[in-house]
Amino acid sequence: MSIVSEFKEFAVKGNAMDLAVGVIIGAAFGKIVDSIVKDLIMPIIGAVFGGFDFSNLFVALGTVPEGAVMTLDGLREANVPVFAYGNFITILINFIILAFVVFLIVKQLNRLNKEAPPEVPAATPEDIVLLREIRDSLKK
């Protein structure tokens, strides 16, 4: 079998296509969760805790040159090493929300995919049982 035909067989298999679709949907879903956290949740949390923005919480680890803007982006542009723990908090909240949503989806899928209990055959009516007994006795 040639490498081209092997690749074609691999690429069109259901598992590879399902994986590709899952990765694409997952990336898009990650962007949605990132926007929810950055644009909706973090401003509310910032307002509750006094109006500060978590993404601008950092510690400069090097000397700050004169004229550098004392924001995270300004220090990064000035090539100053920074310990950006506020950015980490935001990403951690993103992860927790994403993990919780994936947990809920998997839980629902498992609930829907549960095997139905085996069907118990209905009891045979008494008249049918009697007819079978008569038939069996006549065969003897």
Q: Is the pTM of this model over 0.85?
A: no
Residue the block writes with tokens 């924001």: 71
pLDDT in tens, 28-85: 888 888 888 778 887 887 788 776 667 778 888 888 888 888 888 888 888 888 888 8
What pLDDT score was predicted for residue 90?
Answer: 79
Which of 43, 27, 48, 24 is closest to 93 using CA atoms?
A: 43
User: CA 69, CA 86: separation in Å to the nearest integer?
Assistant: 18
Examine the pLDDT at 14 and tell me if it is beyond 70: no
What pLDDT score was predicted for residue 110?
Answer: 82
Spell out the domains of the chain, with CATH numbers in brackets. 3-139 (1.10.1200.120)
What pLDDT score was predicted for residue 124?
Answer: 83
